[in-house]
Amino acid sequence: MRIKIPLTLFSDINSSEICKGIVLRKIREEEITDFFGISNRKLNDELNLASCTPIICKKPTDEGLFHFGDVVSHALSNHLPVFSSNYIMEIDQDNPKDLINRLVITLKLRPFTRTGVGVYFDEKRSTNIISPNPYCKLGKYLSLRKDDLYEFQELLTKLEHIVDDPKFILLIEKYLFSVSGVQISDKNRFLELAIALEMILLPKSVGELNYRFSLRGSKLLNRYIGQDKKEAFDLMKTIYDVRSKLAHEGTSKKLNRELLLKCQEITSLFIKKYIEDDTFFSDENLNNVCID
């Protein structure tokens, strides 16, 4: 089965095999028409649609692929931002479902972005997939350049051994919801991220949770990115305090966009480390990390 996934990327890649059966390449003119129902497309520097010629589709195509020509025309005439993918992720595998799941996780573990999957089709039959983009009004479109490919490929491969683990499934669901395009508040996004952090740092819910959360998190931030231990401890304590306030009172004066971004960066970092070696995050081992 051959599946084509349209993506919007800042990238210097022309065409590259990401791994066996997956090629990332620039989108072709005929695919722009097939996916979006437009021609003569021009993008601006922000990768939003600057101009195009909508193709009016009076009836569904034989394959059933929905055309967005009328919608695009309305949006442009009302000066609304419209994204139109500039890359294709082409997958050629007999059973691509698991691979697509790992691709989505790998993409969304990068910083908050506006890149998502809206529709895909194979050679025999077209399929519409309406899926919220991971867009939280917190970043630009995903940047995936040649220098990023090794890390991207490594994470995609390492996900194979853990993607079906029950704890990881719940953990990643919380993270993916927090960075999804669903219209939810920053409070909800933060709460989901903080709970995901708790799942990683507090595998056993015993003892001084706030202190253990802050100490373990600060030790790992110092270990992974060299952050000052006192500064990291204060940041982790703030995250836990805000999480508790939100969970019990529904609000916290300390929550702001900067803290949300920090929490997302930390959660993404720890999840990637968890994927590399989930056994490292046992309660006993995390205690040993704090002793070192």
CA-based R_g, the chain, Å: 21
Q: What is the reported pLDDT for 57?
A: 53
Using a pLDDT cut of 70, give the percent of the chain over it: 79
- Structure-token pair, residue 271: 């999840």
Is the CB of residue 131 less than 8 Å from the CB of residue 7? Answer: no
Cα-flanking dihedrals φ and ψ of residue 48, to 5°?
A: -85, 155
DSSP assignment string, 45-66: TTSBEEEEEE---SS--TT-PP
Going by C-beta distance under 8 Å and a sequence separation of 6 or more, which residues neighbour residue 250? 187
For 55-171, strand residue ranges (E) read 87-92, 119-121, 126-128, 142-143
* More confidently predicted of 178 and 74: 178
Q: What is the reported pLDDT for 137?
A: 52
2-7/87-92 β-pairing: antiparallel
Q: 231-251, pLDDT tens digit by residue?
A: 999 999 999 999 999 999 999
Residue 185 pLDDT more than 70?
A: yes
Q: 118-157, pLDDT tens digit by residue?
A: 444 444 444 433 344 444 455 667 788 899 889 989 999 9
Q: In terms of pTM, does the model score above 0.85?
A: no
